[in-house]
Amino acid sequence: MTRSLLLASLIATAAFAATTAHAAGDKEAGRLKTYTCHGCHGIPGYKNAYPNYHVPRIAGQNFEYLVAALKGYQTGDRSHPTMRAQGESLSAQDIEDIAAYLAGLTP
């Protein structure tokens, strides 16, 4: 393999690794960002303090599903006033971090 092909291969591998790491999000940052989720989704033990109706369990949910759901609320493709407000306040990195943390919890 020539040096230029080797170098190109190394650069492509590094870029793929960086993209993959970014896609997983930062679990610790996500833990800090989920403080508003706890009240309704009741992550510890799935008991919500408020409201008193069924709220989906999100701890242990699939990473890709969580990302898609939060982006859906953000864009208005999913309809729920409270979640729309939450979604609008999140950056793409926030969504990935939150999804990484929640997906890593044991349901």
Per-chain mean pLDDT for the chain? 78
Which is more confident, 36 or 49?
A: 36
Residue for token pair 């949910």: 61
pLDDT-derived band at 29 (thresholds 50, 70, 90) equals: very high
Could you read off the pLDDT of 53-69 as tens digits, one per residue?
A: 678 889 999 999 999 99
Summarize the confidence of residues 77-90 as an average pLDDT. Answer: 93
DSSP 104: T
pLDDT on residue 7: 41
CA distances from 33 to 3, 8, 93 (A): 44, 37, 11
Can you say whether residue 93 is alpha, beta or left, with left for phi > 0 and alpha for psi between -120 and 50 degrees? alpha
The yes-or-no verdict on residue 21 having pLDDT over 50 is: no
